[in-house]
């Protein structure tokens, strides 16, 4: 199946917003739904994950009349990092409470704990009625590092292979291949940047990262000539350089930084992403007048893009 479709489920940073002045762009935190090569890959598990889970549950119910003849949910969630705005939707992802669901959850960890241990403490044991171990789905949680390739073959769940262990034939252009690197331009433990490649098309997801004077050379090399660059743009330059509460060092970029990265990368299309929760529709419309173009667009909930 040759598909590479992206749908934005949550585009907000820091915390979700529910208010009539935030309806155009949406108030949910980071989550992208990607259908690629017959696989469902989800980038981050902010509150945008909840609506996706509700739709997947509805499709599951409609797929058959009994549990045995319904089509199970199969998905993989990739976490950029474990700050709350990127994981807070996970306990409310309804397919995870079905025994037939198969899920893989991958992300980076600190040196002292596994991803499973960190998520169990942050989202479940003391802050939710269930423990992580009570989830009914067949859930596999895997720790990632920069040496890993994540490979999706047709009809299979992802396989993680260290770059030094790759052999000829481990993947082809017909497989979905994901690589990552860790940017330390975001407190406290950095953030994973993901590159998804399929049939010659490339998507790069670079949220929650601050740029550097002259650009982020590591990201430019990683994302070179990608088809779609989804880049953090939390702050206006005015807010970033505010004399009252400057945002330098907060781990987020401005719209100018995102544009500079697009130009240095040679990305065909840029999507500004992860907007500050204080930026209402009127504020984002004004910023869009200044920064948006045919090749640089603003994310909003429900935005769909097709790379193939």
Say how many residues make up the chain.
308
- Record the pTM: 0.97
CA 92 to mean position of chain CA atoms: 17
Q: What's residue 27's pLDDT?
A: 98
User: How many angstroms separate the Cα of 248 from the Cα of each of 5, 41, 253?
Assistant: 34, 32, 9
Q: What's residue 1's pLDDT?
A: 67
174's tokens: 């017909």
Q: What's residue 109's pLDDT?
A: 78
Q: Cα(94)–Cα(248) distance, rounded to whole angstroms?
A: 38
252's tokens: 């987020």
Per-residue pLDDT of 178-194, as tens digits, reads 999 999 999 888 999 99
User: How many angstroms separate the Cα of 214 from the Cα of each of 224, 239, 255, 258, 264?
Assistant: 16, 20, 15, 12, 10
User: How many angstroms separate the Cα of 85 from the Cα of each of 190, 214, 274, 303?
Assistant: 15, 29, 10, 20
Q: What's residue 11's pLDDT?
A: 98
177's tokens: 């291949």
In tens digits, what is the pLDDT along the chain, a chain of 308 residues?
A: 689 999 999 999 999 999 999 999 999 999 999 999 999 999 999 999 999 999 999 999 999 999 899 999 999 999 999 999 999 999 999 999 999 999 999 998 776 889 999 999 999 988 999 999 999 999 999 999 999 999 999 999 999 999 999 999 999 989 999 999 999 999 888 999 999 999 999 999 999 999 988 999 999 999 999 999 999 999 999 999 999 999 999 999 999 999 999 999 999 999 999 999 999 999 999 999 999 999 999 999 999 999 99
Q: Cα(144)–Cα(132) distance, rounded to whole angstroms?
A: 19
Burial of 164 (0-12, 13-18, 19+ CB in 10 A): exposed
Q: What's residue 234's pLDDT?
A: 98
What's phi and psi for 182, nearest 5 deg?
Answer: -100, 120
Q: Cα(58)–Cα(50) distance, rounded to whole angstroms?
A: 12
**Nearest residue to 231 (alpha-carbon basis) of 177, 275, 278, 181:** 275
């Amino acid at each position: 199946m040759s598909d590479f479709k992206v749908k934005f489920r949550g585009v907000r940073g820091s915390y979700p917003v529910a208010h009539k002045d935030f309806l155009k762009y949406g108030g949910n935190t980071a989550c992208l739904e990607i259908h690629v090569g017959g696989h469902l890959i989800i980038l981050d598990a902010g509150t945008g994950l909840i609506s996706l889970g509700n739709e997947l549950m509805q499709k599951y119910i409609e797929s058959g009349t009994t549990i045995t003849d319904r089509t199970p949910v199969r998905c993989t969630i990739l976490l950029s990092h474990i700050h709350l705005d990127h994981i807070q939707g996970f306990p409310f992802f309804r397919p995870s409470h079905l025994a037939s669901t198969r899920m893989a959850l991958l992300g980076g960890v600190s040196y002292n704990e596994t991803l499973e241990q960190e998520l169990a403490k942050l989202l479940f044991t003391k802050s939710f009625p269930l423990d992580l171990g009570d989830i009914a789905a067949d859930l596999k949680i895997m720790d990632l590092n920069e040496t890993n390739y994540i490979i999706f073959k047709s009809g299979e769940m992802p396989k993680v292979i260290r770059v030094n262990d790759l052999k000829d034939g481990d993947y082809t252009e017909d497989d979905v291949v994901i690589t990552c690197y860790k940017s330390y331009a975001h407190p406290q433990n950095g953030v994973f940047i993901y590159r998804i490649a399929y049939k010659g098309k490339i998507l790069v997801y670079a949220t929650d990262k601050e740029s550097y004077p002259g650009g982020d050379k590591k990201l430019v090399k990683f994302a070179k000539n990608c088809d779609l660059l989804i880049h953090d743009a939390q702050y206006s330059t005015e807010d970033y350089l505010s004399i009252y509460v400057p945002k330098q060092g907060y781990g987020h970029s401005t719209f100018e930084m995102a544009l500079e990265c697009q130009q240095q990368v040679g990305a065909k299309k840029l999507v500004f992403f992860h907007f500050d929760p204080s930026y209402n529709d009127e504020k984002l419309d004004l910023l869009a007048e200044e920064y948006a173009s045919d090749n640089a667009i603003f994310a909003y909930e429900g935005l769909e893009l097709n790379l193939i």
